[in-house]
Chain A
Amino acid sequence: MPSPLLAQTPGETLLLLGNEAIVRGALEGGVGFVSCYPGTPSSEVPDTFFRMSRDGDYRFEYSTNEKVALEVGAGAALAGTPTLVTMKHVGVNVAADPLLTLSYITAPGGLVLLSADDPGCHSSQNEQDNRHYARLAGLPCFEPATAQECKDMTRDALLLAQRTGQPVLLRTTTRVNHVRGPVTLGSLPAQKTRKEFARNLQQYVPIPAHSRVQHRQLLDRLAAIGREAEASPWNKVSGQGTLGVIASGVTRCYLRDALLEEGIEGSVKVLDLGLSYPMPDGLLLSFMEGLEKVLVLEELDPLVEEHVRALAQRKGISIEVLGKGEALPLWGEYSTQMVRQALRQALGRQSHAPQHCAPEGGLAMRPPNLCAGCSHRSAYYTVREVFGDEAFYSSDIGCYTLGLLPPLSMADFLLCMGSSVSTGSGFASASGRTTIGFIGDSTFFHSGVTGLINAVHNDHDILVVVLDNRTTAMTGHQPHPGVDATALGPNPRKVEIEPLVKACGVEHVITVSPLNHKASRKALEAMKALKGPRVIIFQDPCVIHERRTTGKGKPQVAVAAESGQGCLDVLNSLACPAFVKEDGQVRVDEELCSGCMYCLQLDKSFKAKKRGA
């Protein structure tokens, strides 16, 4: 049955995840091409498009990285097709190069870039504020706050992009991507708009003589869109009083609830900034009329606050501008409580500390962990056996980053997607120490391969370990160029990693199953004796992905037949989550055991038995 997201049922209300609502909004805006690199909190947007791609009237692709996704999307939009490109906030750094020029040359078919920011670092290495990219590249910026707005703003962003040719930024944050709420559907366009590409060198080929002109044209387009923002239904004023509050993104939700709980709805003047860039200066000026103070609410950086401050100074308006400070930090997420506190400060009320019992200290932590039977765990185990603390470990972004925890302790430093090979190379070169770079298969295709080519070219002394589990496991098992099959069927044109590594000029390459302890050890010992760029590919499918795609698990499980010291040693050094220590004895939880049979190779006290027997 086709997804209800594809149905022509205007007026129907569905309970949707923010990310699903974005998909529907793009469809209502006539999207015809979607590209992405997955990354939490954006992943469910492309995943939903992927699952519906047999029934939907659009082209979808998982690209190898964000730069490629934007470049492919730009091509589609240049050819006249309304396009959505999705990624997480750090992905936009990867795509920044084409982005800053695409906004010069324009994308006539209409292009919306979804940047899913992550204040609070729920699943990211930093919490950068990507509204800076709107200012840097010259992109109009929409900031939805609810599931309904996720749909409606995506549609409007795509329509604006189609009308003006200017690429548009849809900036969400984790809470908005993962909100679930009622969404009333609009109608889907009866026919797709597809513009014809009209050759125009001055417009589309940014040699310096053209770029100089294009920059000024970009500023003119932004000014025109700024004039539209003055009257946009997404920028609206409500309430009255001498205190004004300007709020953008999810802070608009916290503000609404804070006003409700403080019992001051209507007696504070509020400006909702939904289309938050370019700033509607006329609207801001008329909003400030008659106000004594204005409080600005925005997560992370004070972009709106500083703009309002500068605008007031330029126009000689005497007004107190409140924003970042004690109650409202430059880091992390806001909350209703925080906004209540800021409102109370602004109103000169006493502070309101919510009553609650103190968070319990000293509780056993529950950090995320490599799964039972995860092939990365056995790969790490054997590497530690052979190299121990002698080597330094350069890590990368993926499930395998979880190997940083003891007892595996397999990450000494980490920078960004694809950095393990290149940062490891630099580290080895400067320190002269044995350095091992770990990289997953999807990350290798994303941007690890360029680092490997560099290592060959500059003869870096690094052992690269490709942890190839045949999928992009971290973000939900999305396919990449090397996978055997996808949710939609077999992958007919596979890019194999080993020949690719050889073609890069790496002389010493071994592919081995990390679940084969003896063979893995042998491969590692061989590589330990060598110098220069060398690669081991540890290849075994992600245990969860394999179970889901084949529909069956492995037939056997491990049992601890006798619980001696050897058994305890394996528990302490492998730390498989299927092991339980009870009264000094080791037991294997049959429900958790995946049947990888790795522990049997480490100690004779582990035996195999038929599952359920």
Chain B
Amino acid sequence: MTGWEELASTALVGTDRRPYQGDLLDAAAVEVARRRAGRKAGAVGQQAPHAAGPQAPDAAGPQEQAPHAAGPLAPDAAGPQEQAPHAAEPQAPDAAGQREQATGAAGRREQAAGAVGGRDGSSEASPEAQAAPVEERVAVGRRAAERLVRIMGGEHERLLPEWLAAAAATGRRVPPYVLPELLEKGRRDRSIRVHLGVLAGQRGRWLAGLNPAWDYLLEEPTGETWELGGAADRRAHLRTLRTADPAQARRLLESTWERETPDDRAEFVEVLADGLSMDDEPFLESALDDRRREVRQAAANLLTRLPGSRMSQRMAERARACVTISRKVIAVEAPRDCDKAMERDGIRPKPPRGIGERAWWLQQILARAPLSIWGHPPAALLKMKIPDWDAEVKAAWVRAAVLQKDPEWARAMFGWDPIADLLESLPADEQQKLAADFVKKHDLDSQLIMVLGGVSSHWREGLATAVLRKIVKVATRQPWNLGELVKLAGERIDPALFPLALSYSPVESVQQVAALLRFRADMYKELHP
């Protein structure tokens, strides 16, 4: 038991029951000053007492009192309670009130001992032994980093993904001081993680190794290779290879296919979407027998985009069995059951709530059957009468246009059901033109917002003006409704158009859009100095 513990336990019980030689509070005061002076600089409750003492005999400080305090018999290690206060007494040459041992003298005397504690503490509690590796990438500039902090702090918070994507595209990293906050964001928001692998740099990964809350970062692509990298790195590698040499990428995938985990297999199949061709068909067809449903589903989705695939042909046959097109009428008979072969081809037997089984099967078959089987342009088909299952057939066409990424069908079906997914199948220019037309004809409602949400950034002048005009119009009648449209406009319009917005109208909502565009323009400027 150390001197201090002795004092504390005696005080706890009381000197009435456990008599103490001398004045306990006097002795305690000396000890407190001593402890505070370094030995336990705050390490209350830790094992600091062991650190002090015998093993540091050479730690004598500059003070003349040091040898007594810092030697092998450091007071805490000394044991007998009376030793500490008494030992203090004789050598307090400059102490003002010598009999009041504590004031003045006690603390000073102990400074060497304090230093001992500190030194020992440092070698024992040696924190993170390994320093972070040197960075390979340059950090973004100070202004850019400050803007990131502003965004994370809540200023136009929705721009965070855009900032991150733009910064990652420059191949740079963020300065270390923003990392904790950024990694914390990534912990809560999966969608931004993909950018963090690059942006966090070596320091970020080093931090993630120290804090389990951030270790998701270690799963993000960093630039490692196929053999050594984590799943994300391998996916990135495969994606790059696929762009350069689709066949080579497929062969690489086939070579390790059996050993991949089910999760990885599902992710890897999706990589084949890029550069998809009939060469991939045999591999994808075999993937339809995979144990994991996600893998089968991903393979079926890709095969749907290959009208010549065996699966598409099988689906075409199923569709033909359901549908008969006469001159102006499409007669439909939904399937009666869902067999194993259909399931293998990605048809899911169990309908979601609210849809009947037969309708569900019908929709899936028609959505996966090649659009060429209809033999008429979509506009003509939409004019025909469908006595039974009308809504199901049209919903299936929408789904087919999305799945098969067919621009002609997407255009036609957007006229029937303007959903954002359809826009994805169209080239950027056309997306914006369609959306602009839609904005002109359509009132501001949630559907309009959804359609606009599907039009990727940066909106050019046509769509930008259409949206600004809509904002001005709505601003007078229902300004309370504008919030989301104003935000979306500010986030998606090409930031270079901010002068256009600024001078377009003095209406406050338009000025808000202009301000946000300006913010983004500055943001890009900082990232590309």
Chain A complexes with chain B: no
